[in-house]
């Protein structure tokens, strides 16, 4: 059996176990409902076009053309009556004057007025709602997936250590195969979860008028987000695996993983608070820990030159390789030390497993 086959077996087991985990299934379901609701609800709450009562037939025709729900009545009194009764949102009476209870109906007013010509000087500028939501969405997606799936990797490593099954595994396959299988499984699950959320959001956006106009602008940013996400995820996953191997009990993961949690959290808050500061974002888009979200955001905002994501991606790839090597070394150095928590330096220096494993 070759290494690829062994990695596939390890990854398949991880995925199978996770797909039977109720907590995982419910949290995915919750994310999906949340994504659908946050896309559809604003549109539903905004309501449809106003209903309007009118006596004048030519005005009625204008309003109908504007897509309003028009009720033609006998005279202005009858129209006003309907507004007071709450049967319609507004009425148009002689003048023309618009009657409404407590809020001026914008769509009725617009239908009756002549708008001046508008010429946009920067037509590609991002609409303000999207300008606020998209950085937030990118940061959230990367933050939550790298945290939950990173924790999953650490837990799975610790479980094998805690239950001692790792000794049988290590006697059977190289330690790096176990590590690779876990990282790949978590990465796959994370990608599938994000893809599902994206699918639900896009589908839901079809029901919301504002959503569909953002999508074309968002597409290239999402295209870049994928390679950034994968590399950023692998970089952190290696660290999570190392942390998981240092401890012996699930209860100790939270404490031991604090530095890695900070590496996930700090960039998240930096991006949430600094995403309208171009200088800060430029710096963040090259730092490996924040690049996975900061660079796609800058691309979305149209602030980055074409070569910038490539350079940032290269830096990220180099750091991912470095942490992968470091994480694997700590993992190898500590995964068989089952008495108490292993100090990270002891794990780093412990050449035992590497020594044995290098024997072919």
Partner 1 sequence: MTKVLRLDGINRSFGDRPVLKEVTFDVTAGRLTGFVGANGAGKTTTMRIVLGVLAADSGAVTWQGSPLTREDRRRFGYMPEERGLYPKMTVREQLIYLGRLHGLTPEAVRRHAGDLLERLGLDERADEPLEKLSLGNQQRAQIAAALVHDPDVLVLDEPFSGLDPAAVDIVVAVLREHTARGVPVLFSSHQLDVVERLCDDLVIIADGTIRAVGRRDDLRVAHARPRHALVVDGDAGWLRDQPGVTLIDLDGPRAVFDLAAGADDQAVLQAALARGPVRSFGPVVPSLTEIFREVTR
Residue 50 tokens read as 């106003």
- Minimum CB separation from partner 1 for residue 306, in Å? 46
Shortest spacing between CB 141 and partner 1, in angstroms: 29
Residue closer to partner 1 by CB (options 213, 338) is 338
Q: Which is nearer to partner 1, 231 or 245 (CB)?
A: 245
| Residues in touch with partner 1 (CB under 8 A) | 1, 6, 9-10, 13, 17, 159-160, 163-174, 336, 338, 352, 355-357, 359-360
What's the token pair of residue 225? 């987000």
CB of 335 to partner 1, least distance (A): 10
Q: Which is nearer to partner 1, 110 or 349 (CB)?
A: 349
Q: How far is the CB of 189 from partner 1 (least distance, A)?
A: 17
Q: Please state the closest distance from residue 240 (CB atom) to partner 1, in A.
A: 19
Give the contacts of 59 (CB within 8 A, at least 6 positions apart): 92, 96, 112
User: Rounded to 5 degrees, what are φ and ψ at 68?
Assistant: -85, 160
Nearer to partner 1, 169 or 210 (CB): 169
Q: Using only C-alpha atoms, what is the Rg of the chain? A: 29
Q: Nearer to partner 1 by C-beta: 58 or 163?
A: 163
């Amino acid at each position: 059996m070759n290494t690829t086959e062994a990695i596939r077996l390890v990854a398949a087991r991880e995925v199978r176990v996770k797909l039977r985990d109720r907590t995982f299934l419910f949290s995915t379901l919750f994310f999906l409902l949340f994504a659908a609701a946050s896309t559809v609800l604003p549109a539903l709450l905004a309501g449809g076009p106003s209903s309007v009562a009118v006596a004048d037939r030519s005005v009625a025709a204008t309003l109908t053309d504007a897509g309003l729900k028009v009720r033609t009545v006998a005279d202005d009194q009858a129209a006003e009556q309907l507004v007071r009764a709450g049967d319609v949102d507004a009425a148009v009476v002689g003048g023309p004057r618009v009657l409404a209870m407590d809020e001026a109906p914008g769509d009725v007013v617009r239908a009756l007025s002549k708008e001046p010509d508008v010429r946009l000087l920067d037509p590609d500028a991002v609409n303000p709602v999207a300008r606020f939501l998209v950085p937030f969405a990118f940061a959230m997606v990367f933050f939550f997936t790298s945290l939950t799936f990173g924790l999953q990797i650490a837990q799975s490593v610790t479980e094998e250590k805690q239950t001692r099954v790792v000794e049988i595994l290590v006697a059977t396959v190289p330690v790096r195969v176990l590590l690779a299988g876990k990282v790949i499984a978590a990465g796959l699950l994370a990608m599938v979860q994000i893809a599902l959320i994206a699918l639900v959001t896009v589908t839901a956006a079809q029901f919301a008028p504002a959503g569909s106009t953002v999508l074309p602008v968002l597409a290239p940013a999402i295209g870049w987000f994928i390679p950034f996400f994968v590399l950023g995820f692998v970089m952190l996953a290696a660290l999570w695996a190392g942390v998981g191997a240092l401890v012996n009990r699930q209860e100790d993961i939270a404490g031991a993983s604090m530095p890695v949690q900070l590496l996930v959290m700090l960039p998240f808050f930096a991006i949430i608070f600094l995403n309208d500061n171009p200088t800060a974002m430029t710096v963040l888009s090259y730092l490996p820990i924040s690049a996975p979200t900061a660079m796609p955001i800058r691309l979305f905002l149209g602030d980055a030159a074409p070569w910038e994501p490539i350079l940032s991606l290269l830096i990220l790839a180099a750091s991912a390789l470095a942490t992968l090597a470091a994480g694997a070394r700590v993992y190898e150095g500590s995964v068989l030390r089952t008495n108490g928590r292993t100090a990270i330096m002891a794990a780093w220096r412990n050449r035992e497993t590497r020594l044995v494993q290098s024997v072919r």
